[in-house]
Structure 1
């Protein structure tokens, strides 16, 4: 039996509560993990609100969260890559959530946590940093290319900026005034979001940008796509369908041990800062999710255990 935090029916924050969950023994290719930290993401409240019923089916009551760091306390049959006592991080297995004292991970989506990487930092790597890493892999930009990043101020945007700059790619980050300092301090060029952003981007990119990575969708995506050079790739996690109509598509998420290991090594080596700005004890899990849902969080938010 483990204590978890989740929702009992689709709806608003009033559907959230703590409840006990009985976890089965880990199956083949699975790890039972004692959670040390859990990442909090916008997708969490969107699942609770019911806006992702078609893509994320749940059994109620459902535990929130999908990325954690922790210590292995049980291994399934034929698991050789990990053993009890290993410090790990990864994506929760289907049907299990991260806002819990213990949860289940698939071996294929789990990596060893480097000793120098904190529990909090490791817990937020699989969603935001992992998405950024996979997006850049898919875009395949060469050093010297210019990437237009729409919605650069959030977790995925910050990770994308850091990883792109480390690869020698120039970044033009479109975001609100409140995100300007963070974007410019990272080494990217900032353009204020809203009406007129396209003209400002055009002034910074003679001949057009070499790729667009969109985290906003809607008209912003359409206007950004119009700023590209012929044949430039366009990718969106906010509206992959719209991106496909603009000769682009979504991000192909790999969520593999190899990818997570590489991302953690970038944190360990100082190339990537996960930008954890909000830490909440498990007893305040609702507040942690509210900070993300209300849009008040400047960086990544984690729930810490023990």
Structure 2
């Protein structure tokens, strides 16, 4: 089968579309014929080697965690799913024609494979950082990087929970952020004062690592009220870094519920072929995404 892999750490150019042996599910897993794979910042951070000291991997390695597709093999002990079911979920090496998933949920009615591939990791991350930062209904949350995939999910989940949101984003994404129920303002010089003029900030999330954590700390006054998913140096300020490790089955169940109730929609900003995975990584790293980027198989 065809799969995207890399044999050394480096830039997008190290990604190669190659022929590899098909994977097969172990106990508690399913295999899917991949129709679309989500492109997450975590993917290119792994490719660049940002995590190699804390979580080394054996090279050459596959790429990707999120996928949507059709179940075609079922591992031992798996119940509640059948060959032919359309699912979305998280696994490993999902930039491929076939991938093994550890967690999955059936696609909600009306959701395309391309859209579905964009949900698993971003919704799990959104739910986890909201829990970590401890923001409550009636309070105000500041979200830096509000227009991206995780930001899009955070804004909609917060709105559903009665949490007010101030979102920072590029000038081109101001209306998009407002459309998700947040008060929008721009990045750049003077952003801290612009946010301050909008009102009190009870908690804050850094979703794009644009060097904003000191400003978020200034606005909240408490490092425990700031969480980042992108700034690896934030711990020097006492700010928590949210890696991975939340409950994907629970997140997928909540995502399905939110989608079914019309409370969550994350658009596909751009789609690519497997052969264009390097371009997808370059674009993802450049930021300014409105929603999600996905690979179509």
- Give me the TM-score of the superposition, normalised by structure 1: 0.87
1:99 paired with 2:98, answer no
My pick for the range that moved more, 276-285 or 190-199, is 276-285
Counterpart in 2 of 1:117?
111
Task: State how far apart, in whole Å, the 1-side matches of 2:293 and 2:65 are.
Answer: 13
Q: Is the 8 A contact 1:122 1:264 kept in 2?
A: no
Matching of residues 1-306 of structure 1 within 5 Å = 2-92=1-91, 96-106=92-102, 109-205=103-199, 208-217=200-209, 219-228=211-220, 233-239=225-231, 242-243=234-235, 245-246=237-238, 248=240, 250=242, 253-295=245-287, 297-305=289-297
Further displaced range: 240-249 or 271-280: 240-249
How many corresponding residue pairs?
297
TM-score normalised per structure 2: 0.90
- Aligned partners of 1:8, 1:250: CA distance in 2, in Å? 27
Gaps of at least 5 residues in structure 1 are none
SS of residue in 2 equivalent to 1:291:
helix
SS of aligned partner of 2:278 = helix
Tell me by how many angstroms 1:146 deviates: 0.4
| Structure-1 separation of matches of 2:50 and 2:134 | 32
Q: Distance in 1 between the 2:243 and 2:12 partners? A: 29
Shift of 1:52: 2.2
Structure 1 residues 251-293: Cα deviation after superposition (integer angstroms, max 9, x where no partner) = 6741321221211221232211112121223343333333323
1:53-94: per-residue Cα shift (whole Å, max 9, x none)?
1244333222221100111111111222323222211111xx
CA 100–170 in structure 1, closer or farther in 2 if over 3 Å, else same: same
Residues 231/62 of structure 1: CA separation in 2 closer, same or farther (3 Å cut) = closer
The answer to whether the Cα contact below 8 Å between 2:13 and 2:278 also exists between their aligned partners in 1 is: no
C-alpha RMSD of the superposition:
2.4
Task: Specify whether residues 140 and 49 from structure 1 end up closer, same or farther in structure 2 by C-alpha distance, changes over 3 A only.
Answer: closer
In 2, the alpha carbon distance for the partners of 1:154 and 1:143 equals 23
Q: Secondary structure at the match of 1:226?
A: helix
Provide the rounded CA distance (Å) in 2 between the counterparts of 1:87 and 1:243: 40
Q: Which runs of 5+ in 2 are unaligned?
A: none
* Structure 1 Cα separation of the partners of residues 79 and 190 of structure 2: 55
Asked if the contact 2:17/2:274 (under 8 Å) is kept, the reply is no
CA deviations over 1:158-204 (Å, ceiling 9, x no partner): 21111111211111112222221211222211122122111122211
Q: CA deviation at 1:242?
A: 2.2
Which deviates more, 136-145 or 40-49?
A: 136-145
Distance 1:240 1:263, change over 3 A: farther
Residues 238 and 24 of structure 1: CA distance in aligned 2, closer, same or farther (over 3 Å): closer
Q: Is the 8 A contact 1:152 1:174 kept in 2?
A: yes
